[in-house]
């Protein structure tokens, strides 16, 4: 998406087109009425990355048009970015341009902000970062009142911390999260709150325990844990597992166990194909697993996991790719029916759509 494609006055027209497309693509599954969750029209995105375009004595933020990655265009603002993100963009650039140490061989800047006002800037270089850079970056960090990280090949310098603190309002309660730099977080915090609230509403009448695959930093896991006796969650990223454990502590949640393994590995464990040392302290037999929650990457569920989830009474599936969701439902809907169906407009002004499906055994 280009910033030139942002037309807030056309937001509902574009959203209506997405709704019609999703309703048409999923009609064969005979889902109930589609529940639609809108985004704010501007200032909704909490993270962004920009190339730095050097021309003469000036450096600017740059983006690329779709399919034209050798033709950058410079920008001065980012209307879909949060107000905090735009403030940092405006304050940072003059400081870069006034310092040869900060500017030289800087090729990318990444911003990570939170709805609660916290922020972090990552500056990525094609040069080693030495003491002079650290001194100037430390002064800049104090001036901008943000955290700064410097990166170059085989080098990562954390001047303060490598995460932001976020507070999300979900179903009338506040949840507190550590969101780590370079790890996955939902970019649209307002829609994220709606997604998690919807998931809570779907599962409010369920019985038994929950298994969650792809739990990330516990974004969904922690609120969902308030509705189940026990939760078993899996995640392959060490950083995300550590962050999820920290977020359990922050929210005083003690009924979650997290296993560092992929969905494919957990499926093998459930099928008895392999034994994993990472499950040595977890007795699967101690869980009354009736509900499974999956939020997979764009590739969707692999065939073995697709089959495994059909063993559960209830399936909650949040998808960032309707095409792979539709492919998975071809199999899942042989045993389960769609009881609720949702569209989350996580990325306005693009073709991208996120969907949520709540399925119950036929």
Judged against a pLDDT cut of 80, whether residue 59 lies above it is answered with yes
Residue 183 has pLDDT above 70, yes or no: yes
Give mean pLDDT, residues 302-331. Answer: 96
pLDDT score for 284: 81
Question: Please, which pLDDT band fits residue 160 given cuts at 50, 70 and 90?
Answer: very high
Average pLDDT over residues 151-177: 97
CB 69 within 8 A of CB 57: no
354 counts as catalytic: yes
Q: Does 69 have pLDDT greater than 80?
A: no
| Rounded average pLDDT over 103-107 | 97
Whether pTM > 0.85 for this model: the answer is: yes
Write the pLDDT tens digit of every residue in 186-206: 999 999 999 999 999 999 999
Average pLDDT, the chain: 94
Q: Mean pLDDT throughout 139-146?
A: 98
pLDDT over 90 at 218, yes or no: yes
Distances in Å between the Cα of 268 and the Cα atoms of 15, 211, 241 are 40, 15, 20
* Structural domains of the chain ordered from first start: 3-41+185-361 (3.40.50.150), 47-164 (2.40.50.1070)
Q: What is the mean pLDDT of residues 72-93?
A: 94
Span 266-279, pLDDT tens digits: 888 877 777 777 77
Choose the catalytic residue: 113, 320, 333, 355. 320
Could you confirm whether 355 is annotated as catalytic? no
Round to whole Å and give the CA distance between 333 and 227.
25
* 338-352 tens-digit pLDDT: 999 999 999 999 999
**pLDDT at 359 exceeding the cut of 90:** yes
Own/partner long-range contacts of 169-172 (Cβ < 8 Å, ≥24 apart): 169/193, 170/196, 170/197, 170/200, 170/223, 171/196, 171/197, 171/200, 171/201, 171/223
In terms of phi and psi (left: phi > 0; alpha: psi -120 to 50; beta: otherwise), the region of 227 is alpha
4 pLDDT above the threshold of 70: no
* Residue 182, number of CB atoms within 10 A of its CB: 12
């Amino acid at each position: 998406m280009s910033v030139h494609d942002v037309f807030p006055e056309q937001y509902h027209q574009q959203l209506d087109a997405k709704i019609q497309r999703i309703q048409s693509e999923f009609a064969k599954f005979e889902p109930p009425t589609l529940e639609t969750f809108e985004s704010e029209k501007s200032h909704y995105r909490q993270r962004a990355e920009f190339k730095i375009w050097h021309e003469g004595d000036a450096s600017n933020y740059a983006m690329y048009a779709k399919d034209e990655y050798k033709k950058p265009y410079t920008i001065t603002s980012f209307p879909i970015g949060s107000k905090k993100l735009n403030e940092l963009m405006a304050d940072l650039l003059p400081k870069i341009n006034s310092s040869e140490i900060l500017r030289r061989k800087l090729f990318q800047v990444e911003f990570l902000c939170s709805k609660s006002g916290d922020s972090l800037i990552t500056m990525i270089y094609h040069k080693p970062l030495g003491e002079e850079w650290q001194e100037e970056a430390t002064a800049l960090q104090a001036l901008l009142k943000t955290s700064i990280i410097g990166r170059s090949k085989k080098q990562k310098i954390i001047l303060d911390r490598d995460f932001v603190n976020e507070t999300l309002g979900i179903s009338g309660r506040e949840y507190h999260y550590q969101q780590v730099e370079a790890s996955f977080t939902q970019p649209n915090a307002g829609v994220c709150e709606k997604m998690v609230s919807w998931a809570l509403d779907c599962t409010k009448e369920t019985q038994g325990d929950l298994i969650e695959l792809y739990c990330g930093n516990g974004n969904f896991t922690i609120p969902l844990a308030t509705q189940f006796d026990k939760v078993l969650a899996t995640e392959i990223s060490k950083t995300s597992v550590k962050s999820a454990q920290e977020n359990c502590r922050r929210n005083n949640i003690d009924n979650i166990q997290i296993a560092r393994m992929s969905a494919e590995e957990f499926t093998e464990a459930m099928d008895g194909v392999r034994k994993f040392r990472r499950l040595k302290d977890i007795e699967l037999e101690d869980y009354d697993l009736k509900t499974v929650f999956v939020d997979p990457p764009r590739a969707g569920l692999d065939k073995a996991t697709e089959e495994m989830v059909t063993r559960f009474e209830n399936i909650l599936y949040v998808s960032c790719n309707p095409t792979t969701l539709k492919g998975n439902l071809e199999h899942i809907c042989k045993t389960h029916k769609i009881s609720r169906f949702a569209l989350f407009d996580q990325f306005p002004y693009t073709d991208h759509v996120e969907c949520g499906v709540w399925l119950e055994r036929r």
